[in-house]
Amino acid sequence: MRSVHVSISGRVQGVGFRAWLARTAAAQDLSGWVRNRRTGEVEAVLCGSEGAVEAVLTAAHVGPAGARVDEVLILGDAAPVDGAFEVIATV
C-alpha cells in the first residue's frame, strides 16, 4: 500500500480537474481526497496499491481535456485515508 500527498500545478482549476481526478482515482479503487488551493494548484492524497497510485500519478501529468499540467509534485508520504475517494472544500 502507498499513500502520497501531491500538488498539481498549471491550468488545473476551472477545467473539471478535481472531478476528473476523483473519477480516475475511484476507477483505480483508491481512497483519499482532492481539493483546489486558493493559490491555483490542485492538492490530493492518493491511497491504495503501488500500481494504482502510480497509474493515477501518470494520468495526472495529462489531466482532463482543457487542462495544462505543468508539474505533479509529490510532497511526501501521507497518512492513509479510508473510504471512498472524495472532493473536499477549497483551502
Question: How many whole angstroms separate alpha carbon 15 and alpha carbon 45?
Answer: 20
pLDDT at 28 (0 to 100): 97
Question: How many whole angstroms separate alpha carbon 87 and alpha carbon 6?
Answer: 14
- Sort 83 into a burial class: Cβ within 10 Å, 0-12 / 13-18 / 19+: exposed
pLDDT per residue as tens digits for the range 18-48 = 999 999 999 999 999 999 999 999 999 999 9
Question: Which are the catalytic amino acids?
Answer: 18, 36
Question: How many whole angstroms separate alpha carbon 55 and alpha carbon 61?
Answer: 10
pLDDT at 8 (0 to 100): 98
The domain locations on the chain are: 1-12+31-46+67-77
Q: What is the pTM of this model?
A: 0.95
Pairing of strands 86-87, 31-36: parallel
Instruction: Determine what percent of the chain is predicted with pLDDT higher than 70.
Output: 100
Beta-ladder partners of 52: none
pLDDT at 36 (0 to 100): 98
The average pLDDT across 53-81 equals: 97
